[in-house]
Amino acid sequence: MKHTPKVAAIHDISGYGRCSLTVALPTLAAMGVQCCPMPTAYLSAHTAFPPSEHAVFLDLSDQMAETAAHWSELHAQFDAIYSGFLGSARQADLLADFIARFRSGGETLVLVDPVMGDNGKPYRTYTPELCRKMRSLAACADVITPNITEAAMLLEQPYDSMPTDRAGLERLLVSLSLDGRRSVVLTGVSLADGSIGSACLEQTHGEISFHMSKEETGYFHGTGDLFASVLLGGLLRGERLGDATARAVSFVQTCIAHTLRMDAPVLEGVAFEPLLGTLMQG
């Protein structure tokens, strides 16, 4: 029987509003991947909802360290380590330790989604220290999946200086790859009105490709998490980076179009659940 790939998924769990673990778990499961969650924090709702005195933000850093110790004792092994939103700067250090402990040579794929911001701005909980630590964490990844805002933050360049033309984006991919040491999938790339997608650089061959689809109107929360989860599922099925990127671009677009047809509240994220079945066939 074929081995079921196993992923250590290190993200927050937000009770309301689809993002991070509530997206990664079902998406990876639908793609035939076993997901072992290590929650970084519990939030009553993701941080894009309006602030509230009742909002819960439970930092689970102490539990992360204990979980890593327990998993070591169990001789846990992972085909991939997948991280996203972090609750504090300390968690970036915990994650770096986790990667050092559980990465077994070239066998374990490390995907760091450097979640830090969008639309030119950092997320509310992202301090300059956390962003600095995210940069060093991303430096030990095999694949990173920044949006344009995060690309600017990783390179410590102003958002307004980010390129929008093909040649400039290709140069940006090369800079983000740290001269070919890691693969990069840049999200939220647009080369023409009405279309949006991703550009990727595959580390092993230095191959660059662009994957576009129809641009849907409206901003949906958690699409980056959905994108990275589908991408990782594809890579663990043995797809090339360009093919996995194309699948992720197309799936996210289909889910957004479906959500718009249903007229669902945008802050709740994309209604991907009815479409998960389409990911099951290889």
Give the residues lining the site for ligand PXL (CB under 6 A). Answer: 12, 14, 19-20, 43, 46-48, 85, 115, 123, 222, 224-225
In order of 111, 240, 247, the CA distances from 234 in angstroms are 13, 8, 8
To 10 degrees, what angle do helices 128-138 and 89-102 make?
10
Is 78 or 227 the residue whose CB approaches ligand PXL more closely?
A: 227
Strands 109-112 and 6-16: unpaired
Task: Tell me the C-alpha distance between 154 and 183, whole Å.
Answer: 14
Residue 271: CB minimum distance to ligand PXL, A:
16
Residue 117 CB, nearest distance to ligand PXL (Å)? 9
Residue with smaller CB distance to ligand PXL, 32 or 37: 37
User: CB-wise, 125 or 190, nearer to ligand PXL?
Assistant: 125
Task: Report the residue number, 5 or 233, with the smaller CB distance to ligand PXL.
Answer: 233
Least distance CB 84 / ligand PXL (angstroms):
6
Residue 130 Cβ, how far from ligand PXL at the closest point, in Å?
A: 13
Closest approach of ligand PXL to the CB of residue 155, in Å: 20
Contact 228, 145 (CB under 8 A): yes
Q: Where are the beta strands (DSSP E) in the chain?
A: 6-16, 34-45, 57-59, 80-83, 109-112, 117-118, 121-122, 143-144, 183-192, 195-202, 207-214
5 vs 196, beta carbon nearer ligand PXL = 196
Q: Please tell me whether residue 113 adopts helix, strand or coil conformation.
A: coil
